[in-house]
Amino acid sequence: MSDELRILLADRVVDGRGGQPISRGYVAIQGERILEVGPAEAATEERFPPEIPREDFGDCTIMPGLVDGHVHLTFSAGPVPFEDIQKDSDSAQLLRAAANARAALQAGVTTLRDLGSRGHVVYELRDAIAKGIVPGPRIMSSGAPITCTGGHLHFLGGIAEGEDGVQAMAETRVEEGADVIKVIATGGNMTTTSDPLKAQFTVPEMKRAVDVANANGLKVTVHARGVEGIRAAVRAGVHGVEHSRMEVPPGKWEFDDELAKEMADRGVHAAPTFAASYRAFQCQAAGAKVGLRKGAIPIDIRQKNARRLREAGVKVIAGTDAGASMARFEEAMNNEMECLVGAGWSHQEALEAATYGSAEALGREKEIGSLEAGKLADLVVVRGDPTRDIAEARQVERVYLGGKLAVRRGQAAFDARPDPWPADEIATRASLLAEFERT
């Protein structure tokens, strides 16, 4: 990695941590990290001589790279993704995942957390991206989520029963190289054999997964829609609740203030995952067949739910469930942030939920999620001002990943592959060439 110094300037710089946007600001990047952030007048030629490359984007905003806390890279985002995933071979899934990762990067996502895939597919993509073989965001992967027989996402292979079974499955994930443990705490939309309103595991069962994760420095996040499952997960000590939809039998929204307070007290993050169904509802309204169950809770109620969670003190973050029905990686984070604004977040707060907020939920806030000296230079340049209109975050001009230009005018750049050839391969090639020359 070169230590080359570079200066980026724009009419606005947003730090991702709630600071007032800097009007006419700069970000100095050295190698893969941020060296400084400040007002443009401080980036004098005395401090940064003319030979140091500087690029001025004018009426643009420099902001932290987006962090999507919840995706499924191997899912098709088609009308009925769970059919596709059960038909796909592992290699077909890997190709899908690579294409989805690239699409997310082009939309300004520099880190994403995959919360459910089969076998080793997403671990392999994660490692391939890190090696520079294909372009994509930084990836954290749960591998196969831990679920019960016939449970939500059981076809991904993480079936476990009883306390010992759950513990063993969590240990297997750790051995495989998972970055997070995902447990399915209630049923979901993708099987007819699971019930979103019922808990799939008991508190002691889920606690075993939490213990394994804690012992290995990982976090546990759960899929949970119904109150019963959310409560069990929270009492088991999980760190995050995906969806967190507060549903009760026979299938209606009933916000539980006490449970929300308990989540807040324990510092549990919640990701409302609006983007999971946002387009699906639109398509359904237009008469298309999509993977939405009858009686699915509409977006406006989900927004009310997210607002209540926040009012109770729960940290609400951006996770999209991209890959789910009609939730495309090209736009999922934009839909998520726009739905947060619709739920009462300010434009800037929505941006924070999608950067520092989600970085914190992933346990990566020391390295990513905000523009601060010393952090990884993962940043996005967008035209316009997303702190006034979050929709302008769709206008991606550039994406930098670890200081390297990864996306130029919406297209993945060659440098999107962090190190086009791994150093040891370059050495091998050099020695082969030298041998050719001798003979």
Q: How far is the CB of 124 from Zn ion (least distance, A)?
A: 20
Q: Residue 38 in contact with residue 26, Cβ under 8 Å?
A: yes
Minimum gap (Å) between residue 104 Cβ and Zn ion: 15
Minimum Å gap between C-beta 395 and Zn ion is 28
Least distance from Zn ion to the Cβ atom of residue 190, Å: 9
326-339 per-residue burial string, b: 16 or more CB within 10 A, e: under 16: bbbbebbbbbbbbb
Nearer to Zn ion, 321 or 352 (CB): 321
Are 64 and 16 in contact by the 8 Å Cβ rule? The answer is yes
- Comparison of 319 and 402: residue with beta carbon closer to Zn ion: 319
Burial class (CB in 10 A: 0-12, 13-18, 19+), 95: middle
Distance CA 74, CA 114 (A): 9
Alpha carbons 312 and 241: distance in angstroms, whole number: 15
Q: Which is nearer to Zn ion, 195 or 321 (CB)?
A: 321
Considering the complex, state which of residue 324 and residue 371 has its C-beta at the smaller distance from Zn ion: 324
Shortest distance (Å) from residue 87 CB to Zn ion = 19
Cα–Cα distance, 251 to 253 (Å, whole number)? 7
Give me the residues that bind Zn ion (CB under 5 A), please: 321
Q: Where are the alpha helices (DSSP H) in 107-141?
A: 121-131
As a whole number of angstroms, the distance between CA 320 and CA 309 comes to 17
Strand pairing of 315-316 and 138-141?
Answer: unpaired
What is the nearest approach in angstroms of Zn ion to the Cβ of residue 67? 16
Q: Residue 126 or residue 347: which is nearer to Zn ion going by CB? A: 126
DSSP secondary structure letter of residue 20: P
